[in-house]
């Protein structure tokens, strides 16, 4: 791999924003339990053998919807080989059109469990209704709260009480403060294991499906204890841009990625336009290597600084 850098050390930009921290505390005062403060350290979310937010980059990948056993198993094996730790896939699908495919329901959950048994991937899948929480929690390792449900407080409370970690997707018209308030509802209901997901928001820009709020990720990493996952697929809606947005998400400080992958995106029952095929996912993962290495160097530099030794050079880390 050839990487050309102007200097042999490269560090993420340091923020110059400490002076405005006090006003952020005020802006996010309704979500005290999810903010970083002197006594509250970063939340690491344990799931099976994985630890989200501990320092490594967590990759969650899979189809938008679980469609069939063949589709799910092929995708699960492929994304695991390419480096994913989690299999995503909707069994209960929130669709913008009531006439669109609504998901396989329980049959889809059973297929996800079969994929976990075959591959060791942990399962993240959406729960749409508080009535389904205990059912979905029986099968899933992480409960996904979708964008359309971010402010469904009775669902948030029921999901919190299931004890499963929660992937909370940002509402498409939700501010950062709105998202943190929803996270607060989950934490205040006794469940500290919340992962935030930036999946794009609606703005005046219509060229893409949504507008990816990379600044929101950087902000969350400065103020919030919770791990943050970037979803480059829903953020843009076009498979050609997914790898670029994944890089941006990592550079902004995301703890992981949620990416839609399908064996044949043109035939997908949902979100085919933004789904990567197997070769595209593999190429994306290979292309992310330098960004992941840079992220690792940054983390090691932080540790080295804490122990008073000098930083680690990027080129050394990249070999
Ligand atoms: C999904 O992850 O497939 C999904 C429906 O996402 P969102 O809730 O962000 O639209
Ligand atoms: Mn989708």
pLDDT (0 to 100) of residue 38: 78
**Whole-angstrom Cα distance, residue 280 to residue 50?**
25
Q: Are 251 and 12 in contact (CB under 8 A)?
A: yes
**Atom number in ligand 1 closest to CA 88:** 2
Residue nearest to atom 6 of ligand 1 (CA): 146
Probe residue for ligand 1, chosen from 66, 125, 147 as the CB with the greatest number of ligand atoms within 8 Å: 147
Closest Cα to atom 4 of ligand 1 = 146
Atom of ligand 1 nearest to the CA of 258: 2
The answer to whether the CB of 234 is under 6 A from ligand 1 is: yes
66 Cβ closer than 6 Å to some ligand 1 atom: no
- Pocket of ligand 1 contains residue 146 by CB under 6 Å: yes
Integer Cα distance of 165 and 167 in angstroms: 7
C-alpha to C-alpha distances, 259 to 61, 165, 173, 296, nearest whole angstrom: 5, 19, 21, 21
Q: What is the DSSP string of the chain?
A: -----SSS---PPPP--GGGHHHHHHHTTT-GGGB-BTTB----EEETTEEETSSSPEEEEE-SB---HHHHHHHHHHHHHTT-SEEE-BSS---SSTTS----THHHHHHHHHHHHHH--EEEEE---GGGHHHHHHH-SEEEEPGGGTT-HHHHHHHHHT-S-EEEEPPTT--HHHHHHHHHHHHHTT---EEEEE--B--S--SSSSB--HHHHHHHHHHBSS-EEE-HHHHH--HHHHHHHHHHHHHHT-SEEEEEB-SSGGG-SS-GGG-B-HHHHHHHHHHHHHHHHHHHHHHHHHHHHHTTPPPPPHHHHH-
Q: How many CB atoms lie within 10 A of CB 60?
A: 26
Report how far apart the first and last C-alpha atoms of the chain are (Å, whole number).
Answer: 10
Instruction: Return per-residue pLDDT of the chain as tens, 319 residues.
Output: 445 445 556 554 444 444 457 788 889 999 999 999 878 789 999 999 999 999 999 999 999 999 999 999 999 999 999 999 999 999 999 888 999 999 999 999 999 999 999 999 999 999 999 999 999 999 999 999 999 999 999 999 999 999 999 999 999 999 999 999 999 999 999 999 999 999 999 999 999 999 999 999 999 999 999 999 999 999 999 999 999 999 999 999 999 999 999 999 999 999 999 999 999 999 999 999 999 999 888 777 776 766 655 444 555 555 5
Q: Is 169 in the pocket of ligand 1 (CB under 6 A)?
A: yes
């Amino acid at each position: 791999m050839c990487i050309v850098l102007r200097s042999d050390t490269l560090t993420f930009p340091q923020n110059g924003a400490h002076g405005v921290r006090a006003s952020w505390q005020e802006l996010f005062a309704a979500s005290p339990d999810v903010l970083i403060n002197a006594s509250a350290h970063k939340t690491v979310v344990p799931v099976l053998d994985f630890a989200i937010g501990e320092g490594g980059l967590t990759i969650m990948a899979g189809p938008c919807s679980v469609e069939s056993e063949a589709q799910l198993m092929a995708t699960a094996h492929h994304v695991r080989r390419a480096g994913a730790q989690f299999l995503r896939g909707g069994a209960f699908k929130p669709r913008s059109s009531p006439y669109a495919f609504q998901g396989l329901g329980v049959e889809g959950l059973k297929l996800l469990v079969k994929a976990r048994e075959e591959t060791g991937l942990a399962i993240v899948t959406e729960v749409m209704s508080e009535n389904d929480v205990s059912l979905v929690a029986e099968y899933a390792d992480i409960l996904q709260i979708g964008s359309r449900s971010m402010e469904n407080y009775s669902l948030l409370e029921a999901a919190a009480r299931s004890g499963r970690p929660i992937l909370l997707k940002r509402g498409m018209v939700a501010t950062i403060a709105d998202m943190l308030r929803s996270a607060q509802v989950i934490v205040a209901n006794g469940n500290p294991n919340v992962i935030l997901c930036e999946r794009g928001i609606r703005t005046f820009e219509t060229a893409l499906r949504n507008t990816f709020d990379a600044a929101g990720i950087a902000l969350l990493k400065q103020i919030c204890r919770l791990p943050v996952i970037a979803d480059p697929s829903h953020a843009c809606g076009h498979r050609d841009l997914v790898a670029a947005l994944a890089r941006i998400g990592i550079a902004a400080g995301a703890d992981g990625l949620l990416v839609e992958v399908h064996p044949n995106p043109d035939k997908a029952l949902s979100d085919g336009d933004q789904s990567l095929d197997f070769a595209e996912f593999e190429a994306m993962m290979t292309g992310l290597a330098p960004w992941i290495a840079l992220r690792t160097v940054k983390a090691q530099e932080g540790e080295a600084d804490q122990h008073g030794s000098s930083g680690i050079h990027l080129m050394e880390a990249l070999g």
